[in-house]
Structure formats: C-alpha cells, structure tokens
Amino acid sequence: MKRRSAAGEPETVTIRSLAKHLKLSPAAVSMVLNSTPKATRFPEATRARVLAAAAKFNYRPNFVARSLRKQQTYTIGVLVPEVSEGYAALVLAGIEDYLLQAGYFYFVVSHRHKTHRLEQYPRLFMDRLVEGIIAVDTTELPFVPNVPIAVVSGHKRLPGITNVVLDHRRAAHLALEHLLQLGHRHIAFIKGQPFSSDTETRWSSIREAARKLGLAIDPNLVTQLQVDSPTPEPGYDVTKSLLAKHARFTALFAFNDISAIGAIRALLDSGIKVPTEVSVMGFDDIQNAAFQNPRLTTIRQPLRRMGELAAETLLKRISGGDYPKIIAVEPELIVRESTAPAPLSSLEEMGRSSLLGVGSQ
C-alpha cells in the first residue's frame, strides 16, 4: 500500500487508504480505530485486521481534522504545585496512563502555591481550549467558565467538582495504631504546610484517632512545615528545631515521606539512631521510600490510581455522563525498617504509669 508522492516522500496513510487496502468502508475502519461502541458490531477478526494494518503502515490519526469534525480539542490541563515532587509525579503517571489510552493530550503547569500564577492559569487554559482541568493538591482552584474540573486531594465540596481523596481517618488510625502497638507513647508530629490541601484534614484525623486510641498529643512535640520545597530540607530543619527544645519522644510521624526523610537525616546527624532510639513514619509511599536507609515505614496512598480515577471521572463528565462528588480511596500501612519497638526505658515508664493508675487522655 505504500505509495510515494511526486517528490518521492511517503504519502500519509489515511483512513480511506486503509479502508481501500482492507476492502472495508472508511466508516468501519474509523469506528475500530477510534474504539467507538459501534465497533463491537464487527467480528473480532475484522477488528484485529484493522489494528494490524494500522500498525503495519504506521497510521497516525489526524487530530486536527478530528478536533474540527467533532468540535473537541482532546486536551486536558493539569495543575500541580511542583512537577518534580514525588507525590505529584505519581499522580501524574496515573493521569497520563488514562488520558493517553483515551486519545487525549495533556499539558502540565506548576503553580508552586504562588497566587499570581494561579491567577494567570484560567486565561492560559482558555487560550488552549482545554476540555477539562485536573488540579492536584491545589487549595485555591482557578475559575474557568464552563470547563469541568476534577481534583486530587482537594477536600473542598465545590459545585460541579469531583474530589478524589484518601480516607484520612483510616490512614491516621493505621499509623497511630502501629506506633502504639510498638509501645510508643511520646510521639512527635510534623504537620504539613499551611497552604497544602491535605494539612488540616490529615491533622484533624490524627487528633481524632489519638483521642479514640487513648493517646495524649503533647503540643510541645508538634511542629509544622513552612517552606514550599520538594526537598527533604524543610523536614530536616523542623526536626532540628524540635530537638533543640530537648523534648523527649520515641517516635515521629511526618506529614509526608519527603519530610520524614529529612527528619531521619536530622536525627542521625544529632547522634540519634533510627529506629532503635526514635522510630520515624512517613506518608504517601513515594518511589524513594523503599530505598532510604533505613527503608521508610509509611502510609501508602494509591497515588497513581488516584490520578487514573481523576482522569476517568473527568472524561465521563466531558462526555455528559454521571459523576460522583467524592471518590474516597483506601490507605495501606507499609511496614519497613524505620519503625521499631519503643526503647526499653520508655516501656518501663509505661509500666510504672500503669501501676500508679496513670493513663493517657
């Protein structure tokens, strides 16, 4: 079927030329290549022939013509705080998997929690004629008229928006229960940055879980990330500040894996062994979590799956289908090397408190 133009260049393979080669109608070939519901009317062998011919002759769809014909751009805008950060990278992988399989192109913009950037993006999205927007870990959503939006970790019940969120209550319970079973009662906490969409929801869930499990949270053992950075440095700095108070703790529960990695380095630099003297727990289960030294115990968010769900829901909305307001996903406790039983001195103190009738509140 390969033909050359007058200039000697290979001619573009079209649906019509494929149809002529296969002795099928252009409509039939189009249905199969675009995976339309009507394609199922053709025998599987016919569909396989079409796909094999498309691959053999290197058929590439003309998206410009397709967009003009259907009045669709097949383009999605994705908004993230930081592209290189581990959390966003995993969510983006899920978004990409689903969108590319569905024949959609996407572009990503990072706002780094800067107000002026968030104000610029509505015009950028409208100029690119996006069909929908996916916002990841973004507290302040840009308003783009008549454009469907799906949010990963948004935690805001806004009209017309689907939130894909983790069950933070379950996550907090799993984390604290694990540390309590190891005998830890003096637990330090690193809260997330004030501008992170997960911060308040996760912290309120931790307090609720602590109350139910009978754990008293010492305010002196609570610190908070402030700097907007995708590196372990903010976690390192706040842990160093916590240690400077000479407050006693045997475990530390960090807002995310990146800050947990920084906390571990701060503890080790201060001569404190992890996990024999202080256990450290992260949150997210990013790709690097299993390759730290020690390997990080964490709460796994199915981040890739959350990205897929956001993309799937958004495309359903674009096609006029029903969509839920909230999709909650389940966390998983991943136990590795950074948590261990509380030091013996701490366990002995717990025993004395029990004999004296003193309990946590």
Residue-wise pLDDT tens digits, 339-350: 999 998 655 554
CATH class of residue range 168-301+333-355 = alpha beta
Spatial separation of the C-alpha atoms in residues 70 and 109, rounded to whole Å: 26
Residue 251: pLDDT over 50: yes
Minimal CA–CA distance to 347: which of 182, 214, 188? 182
Per the listing, tokens 């469907």 go with 148
Choose between 65 and 34: higher pLDDT. Answer: 34
Dihedral of CA 245/248/251/253: which sign? negative
Give the type of residue at 325. Answer: K
Q: Which residues pair with 244 in a beta bridge?
A: none
How many helices (H) and strands (E) in the chain?
12, 12
CB 195 within 8 A of CB 228: yes
* Burial of 92: CB neighbours in 10 Å, binned 0-12, 13-18, 19+: buried
Q: Quick: pLDDT tens for 294-315.
A: 999 999 999 999 999 999 999 9
CATH superfamily of 1-61: lambda repressor-like DNA-binding domains (1.10.260.40)
Q: pLDDT class for 236, splitting at 50, 70, 90?
A: very high
Is-same-fold flag (1-61; 69-167+304-330)? no
Spatial separation of the C-alpha atoms in residues 55 and 320, rounded to whole Å: 32
Q: pLDDT class for 360, splitting at 50, 70, 90?
A: very low
Query: What residues have CB less than 8 Å from 279, skipping those under 6 apart?
Result: 179, 182, 184, 250, 251, 252, 297, 338, 339, 340, 342
For the chain, which residues make up each domain, given as ranges? 1-61, 69-167+304-330, 168-301+333-355
Residue 140: pLDDT over 50: yes
Q: pLDDT class for 359, splitting at 50, 70, 90?
A: very low
Residue 213: pLDDT over 50: yes
Residue 354: pLDDT over 50: no
pLDDT at residue 307 in the model: 97
CATH superfamily of 69-167+304-330: Response regulator (3.40.50.2300)
Spatial separation of the C-alpha atoms in residues 34 and 72, rounded to whole Å: 14
CA 92 to the chain's CA centroid: 7
Percentage of the chain modeled with pLDDT above 70: 87
> Residues 114-136: what's their mean pLDDT?
85
Spatial separation of the C-alpha atoms in residues 93 and 88, rounded to whole Å: 9
Residue 353: pLDDT over 50: no
